[in-house]
Chain A
Amino acid sequence: MKKLVVGFLFLLLALTVIGCSGGTADTTPAPAVSDTASPAATTQETTAAQSGEKVQVTILGTLKPEIAAQVEAAIATYNAAQDKYEVVSIPLDTNPVEKMTTLYASGNAPTIMGMGQEFAQFQQNLLDLTDAEFSKHALPGTQDPVTVNGRVYGMPLTVEAFGLLYNKSVLDAAVGGGFDPNSMQTRSDLQALMDQINALDGKTALHLSPMDWSLGAHVTNLLFAPQSAERDERLQFMEDLKAGNVALMDNEVFTGWADTFDLLKEYNVNAASPLSADYDQGALALGSGEVGLWFMGNWAFPQLSEIGPDTEFGILPYPIGDDPTTYGNTQISIGVPFYMVIDASQSTPEEQQGAIDFLNWLVTDATGQDYYINQFKFIPVFDTFTTRPTDSMSQQILNYLENGRSLEWMNSLYPPDGWPTMGVSMQKYLTNTIDRAGLAEEFTDYWQGVDK
């Protein structure tokens, strides 16, 4: 009997292995939606589509979690506007890279995804978008990071900026009259401003968010981007760090950057327990005018304007020194947060077509553009847009961009574990678990361990 069991087990094992390999060998194109659909199911799906039923196109998440409701509304409008495709959003409740990896591994890759620095890893699974309508209208330079051998594999979604967001009403009261963002040139200016806010009754200078992505990706960008105005030199700095040739404690930018961070730590409204705060508390604190400044990006604007509909919000640079002419003191970090890409390995051609159609609709159709500008509060990166953003913060960022006062998003060049690891070090520094030398050491250790 025992022999029988063993024999049977092996038979089963052999059968399933054959079955599995047979199934995965012809996964192109495999269905993206259904759980374990076999090739037979795909054909059914396609024929159903031809007979007038809508093709389901999946999109991972809602472009940005902050505008989930607005994006859902746009998707609903798109679905109602035509009868070929049905766009469906897959809930994204975790780190997008984690989610995409697991979905790909299980053969359920979504058709439309947003990708940042993980692009290179997924690139061979992505659809060539060079001939898509939106690719022809993207502003020059915005497609560079997703161009491989002259072919474009992603659609830039928008540009975003991060820095010290401010509540104009609070700053007006603090400086006694109209606050001029251009008056902020150095760290001393910032400190003086924060003192003035603290002097106000019931106001605190700053809310500092402790999330690892904010500290690890955005705050650290201000250590890398201002290293040099020349892109090659900045990249060289990163390479030197990997090679172990940089003594961070002797690096002028590091010192200036850390001095400013110390200042932010000191004026932080949550200084007693810096890790307690979460993102929503930050939005609430700045939106309601409880604090004057918040280190965040313009993606928070839709929430801020919901909390303070009549308040004007703006953005200030994160100064790294006391000389106004130093590169980085009067610039803000502006970049494409991520690219919309389309899966080519697990989605059907119909689904891919639907995905392109939806993205085209968003940036070329009048209704789509209206959602893009007025609901999502995106800053357009396509020449198809005739309308300009109407809110103060987006206009300010466009001004920074047009005047060449922008810093590169070096954080898009970090390896996948870059911001989580540096974020952890930053949290330790924020809570005084390690000192500045410890921070420099953890950064150096991390970069030296990166696969070259």
Chain B
Amino acid sequence: MYTEKGLLDKLKSFATFSFIPLFAFVTVLLIPFLVGFLLTFTDWNGIAAISSLDYNWVGLKNYSVAFADKDFWTALLLTFKYVILVVVFTNIIAFAIALLVTSKLSGRNFFRSIFFVPNLIGGVVLGFIWVFIFSRFVEYIGDITNLAAFQHSWLVDPDKAFIALVIVSVWQLSGYMMLIYIAGLVGIPNDIIEASSIDGASPWQRLRHIVMPLMIPAFTISLFLTLRNSFMAFDVNLALTGGGPFRSTELVTLHIYNEAFRFQNYGDGQAKAVILFVIVATIAIIQVLATNRLERT
């Protein structure tokens, strides 16, 4: 046990353990966040040195522009659609795979690593690989089968490009969520499972009334992670569709990036980023509170 006497001692032991992480947190997270927030009230052009103060304070103008921008709300709506689809499908698939690879399947360790691999490849690389599949390979399939859906690249049709985006994201995220579900499944005490079979519970009843309630913490984590990841999805979007065709698959993060860096409206883009932060933070807090309540009951 540590026994710190004076303030200096306390400070010393505190600094010993947390100076580096705290320093990192402050410099790479807190300060950029605060500076970025302040910049939303200026007309900074993205080029001038921030300390030069070579820009004007414009009050809430950037926010009013952001709120009035139709494209921003379209992108936000599309993101909600994307998040719902990705969260639902990722968790269903990940849970199903987790059940599968924890059953008495031969070669289950092999399958575990196979399903996890997509998560180890960066989003940009994944995007480029899938561009090839959705454009060239799909057309090749179309040539052979003559199916209408495969005649042309999926990435040039707004609806199909969106589906492609969801498929790749689900495929990438499922492996990681599977790991969390496996940990949850393995953590369920065997005696409860045995007791339920002695009581004559069917596999479905066991899953529904024993396994799933005991897995609530795993669901909390997975839901939170998939929510956060899909709201913040950027690299797959950039590399796979680039927002195209004609900005129809532009998720909100890519929209913000384009606004700030491509169209040079730095203030508007940053204001939109702050709006997105508020929305995501609210949703994440609601979600964690809700599942926490489930955990307690």
Contacts and interface: CB of A to CB of B under 8 A. Distances in A.
A273 B45 contact: no
Nearest to B51: A24
B129 interface: no
Given A4-B11, A16-B27, A275-B156, A102 B51 contact: no
Interface string B239-270: 00000111100000000001001111100000
Interface in A95-150: 95, 97-98, 100-102, 104-105, 107, 118, 121-122, 124-125
A105 B247 CA distance: 26
A406 to B, nearest CB: 29
Interface string A341-357: 00001000000000000
Interface string A1-37: 1001100110011001100110011010000000000
B262 A417 contact: yes
- Pick from A101, A121, A420 the residue with the most CB of B within 10 Å: A101
A428 B156 CA distance: 11
B49 interface: yes
A66 B45 CA distance: 30
A421 B258 CA distance: 11
A16 B35 CA distance: 13
Interface residues of B, number: 34
A85 to B, nearest CB: 26
Interface in A409-445: 416-417, 420-421, 424-425, 427-428, 431, 433
Contacts of B30: 13
A276 interface: yes
A427 B247 CA distance: 10
Interface string B42-56: 000111111110000
Given A8-B14, A125-B47, A273-B156, A416 B245 contact: no
Nearest to B265: A417
A343 B247 CA distance: 33
A4 B47 contact: no
B262 A420 contact: yes
Given A101-B264, A417-B264, A424 B11 contact: no
A125 B48 CA distance: 8
Contact of A24 (B49, B258, B261): B49
B57 interface: no
A121 B26 CA distance: 32
A188 to B, nearest CB: 31
Given A105-B46, A276-B152, A427-B246, A12 B264 contact: no
Contacts of B264: 97, 101, 118, 121, 416-417
B47 A121 contact: yes
Contacts of B246: 424-425, 427-428, 431, 433
Contact of A20 (B10, B47, B51, B52): B51
A273 B152 contact: yes
A17 B31 contact: yes
- The majority secondary structure among interface residues of chain B is helix
B152 A9 contact: no
B220 interface: no
Given A105-B46, A121-B47, A273-B156, A12 B262 contact: no
A51 B30 CA distance: 42
In this complex, the interface size class of chain A, counting residues with CB under 8 Å from chain B, is 35 or more
A345 B50 CA distance: 13
Contacts of B14: 1, 4-5, 8
Contacts of A81: none
Contact of B22 (A8, A25, A417, A428): A8
A100 to B, nearest CB: 8
B135 interface: yes
B47 A25 contact: no
B21 to A, nearest CB: 11
Contact of B49 (A1, A16, A27): A27
B23 interface: yes
B245 A431 contact: yes
A417 B245 contact: no
A40 interface: no
B153 interface: yes
Contact of B262 (A9, A98, A425): A98
B152 A272 contact: yes
Contact of A102 (B15, B49, B245, B261): B261
Contact of A121 (B10, B45, B262): B45
A107 B50 CA distance: 11
A346 to B, nearest CB: 9
A24 B265 CA distance: 23
B46 A101 contact: yes
B20 to A, nearest CB: 11
A53 to B, nearest CB: 29
A142 B45 CA distance: 28
B11 to A, nearest CB: 7
A100 B152 CA distance: 36
A134 B14 CA distance: 61
Contact of A104 (B22, B47, B262): B47
A417 B263 contact: yes
Contacts of A107: 49
A275 B261 contact: no
B267 to A, nearest CB: 12
A435 to B, nearest CB: 15
Contacts of A425: 246
A5 to B, nearest CB: 7
B26 A4 contact: no
Q: Which 8 A-B pairs have the closest CB atoms?
A: A417-B263, A275-B156, A273-B152, A24-B51, A98-B261, A416-B264, A424-B246, A427-B246
24 contacts: A4-B14, A9-B22, A9-B26, A12-B22, A21-B51, A24-B49, A24-B51, A25-B51, A27-B49, A97-B261, A97-B262, A104-B47, A118-B264, A122-B47, A125-B47, A275-B245, A276-B139, A276-B152, A276-B153, A417-B265, A420-B263, A427-B246, A428-B246, A431-B246
Interface of A: 1, 4-5, 8-9, 12-13, 16-17, 20-21, 24-25, 27, 95, 97-98, 100-102, 104-105, 107, 118, 121-122, 124-125, 272-276, 345, 416-417, 420-421, 424-425, 427-428, 431, 433
Interface of B: 10-11, 14-15, 22-23, 26-27, 30-31, 45-52, 135, 139, 151-153, 156, 244-247, 258, 261-265
